[in-house]
Amino acid sequence: MKLFLMTDMEGVCGVVNHDIWVTPEGRYYEEGKKLLTLEINAAVEGFYAAGATEILVVDAHGYGGINNLLLDERVKYLRGPLPTPYPYMLDASFDAIAWIGQHAKAGTEYAHMAHTGWFNTIDYRINDISVGEFGQVAMCGAFLGVRSIFGSGDAAFVQEATALVDGFEAVTVKWGIMPGSGDECDTEQYKERNNGAIHLHPEQARRLIRAGAERALRRFRDDRGQFALLPVQPPFRKEVHYRRNGEQPARVLRSEHQGNLIDLLNSYK
């Protein structure tokens, strides 16, 4: 049972805000990396207990988010190049995809550090479906025939993921506290507005992640059909709404591809 494990920092329990915790200049950046790595290890324990035989851990945080000296020695670790093109070396040889430390998409109410790619995005749509970073990879998986089964992060991410993928198993480790979408903000304002959250204790969060990962993979082994494949049918259309960013005004970019979703996601037009 071969698993593809995506990771990010903003959805990790105990990672409090953006600039101080998830950037190399931040005072607690190394602590944030440790917290993410320990959540990954908790999920790995659960997956192996449920029968996993191979796990590829993808460090998908832009600045890098994993302390691989602390990483469970049973996994393989993938990082780079930057920017990493979709689908991050995901292919049909994998049985399933999971996420650790995932945050909600841009514009999500009561989310913690919500964004899509960066804080300048208001909305990102594929074939009129609004998706964030989770949804983009889940769609890649569906395009390749690989199902999405498990994720952990803030409550807004959990709501987003379970609404998008029927049967998806998810664990909440913190709760954002800011109402509203923030669509009225420029990029810098939006980066600062969603830094508040209520967190579990990290050890409790890791216990929940371990149990959820094991539960998800056992369900998957019993019946893969419990986890829906997203409908991804060509032609593919992408529409990205950007907010005001310094001197750059708000704008909308659109592109299409007649047959390949991954090529469309890698298009920056």
The pLDDT tens digits of the residues spanning 119-163 come to: 999 999 999 999 999 999 999 999 999 999 999 999 999 999 999
What pLDDT, on a 0 to 100 scale, did the predictor assign at position 98? 99
What integer is the mean pLDDT of 171-175? 98
77 vs 160: CA distance, rounded Å? 27
What share of the chain has pLDDT > 90, as a percent?
A: 97
Distances (CA, A) of 74 to 55, 71, 209, 260: 8, 9, 18, 34
> Quick check: is 260 in a domain?
no
Say if pTM beats, i.e. exceeds, 0.95. Answer: yes
Q: Are 13 and 202 in contact (CB under 8 A)?
A: yes
> Quick check: is 247 in a domain?
no
Average pLDDT in the chain: 97
What integer is the mean pLDDT of 179-192? 97
What integer is the mean pLDDT of 58-73? 97
> Quick check: is 60 in a domain?
yes
What pLDDT, on a 0 to 100 scale, did the predictor assign at position 191? 97
> Quick check: is 223 in a domain?
yes
CATH of the domain at 34: 3.40.50.10780
226-249 tens-digit pLDDT? 999 999 999 999 999 999 999 999
> Quick check: is 207 in a domain?
yes
What integer is the mean pLDDT of 191-218? 98
What pLDDT, on a 0 to 100 scale, did the predictor assign at position 269? 53
Total number of domains constituting the chain: 1
As a three-state string, the secondary structure of the chain is CEEEEEECCCCCCCCCCHHHHCCCCCCCHHHHHHHHHHHHHHHHHHHHHCCCCEEEEEECCCCCCCCCCCCCCCCEEECCCCCCCCCCCCCCCCCEEEEEEECCCCCCCCCCCCCECECCEEEEEECCEECCHHHHHHHHHHHHCCEEEEEEEEHHHHHHHHHHCCCCEEEEEEEECCCCCCCCCCHHHHHHHCCCEEECCHHHHHHHHHHHHHHHHHHHHHCHHHCCCCCCCCCEEEEEEECCECCECCEEEEEEECCCHHHHHCCCC
Has residue 250 got a pLDDT over 90? yes
What pLDDT, on a 0 to 100 scale, did the predictor assign at position 226? 96
What pLDDT, on a 0 to 100 scale, did the predictor assign at position 82? 83
Q: Are 67 and 32 in contact (CB under 8 A)?
A: no
The candidate with the shortest Cα–Cα distance to 38, out of 63, 61, 19, 65, is 65
Has residue 31 got a pLDDT over 80? yes
Taking the CB of residue 108, how many other CB atoms lie within 10 A of it?
A: 24
> Quick check: is 10 in a domain?
yes
> Quick check: is 114 in a domain?
yes
> Quick check: is 199 in a domain?
yes
Has residue 211 got a pLDDT over 70? yes
Give the pLDDT band of residue 83 (cuts 50, 70, 90): confident
Has residue 167 got a pLDDT over 80? yes
Residue span of the structural domain in which 184 resides: 2-235
What integer is the mean pLDDT of 200-223? 98
139 vs 226: CA distance, rounded Å? 17
Has residue 39 got a pLDDT over 70? yes
What share of the chain has pLDDT > 70, as a percent?
A: 100
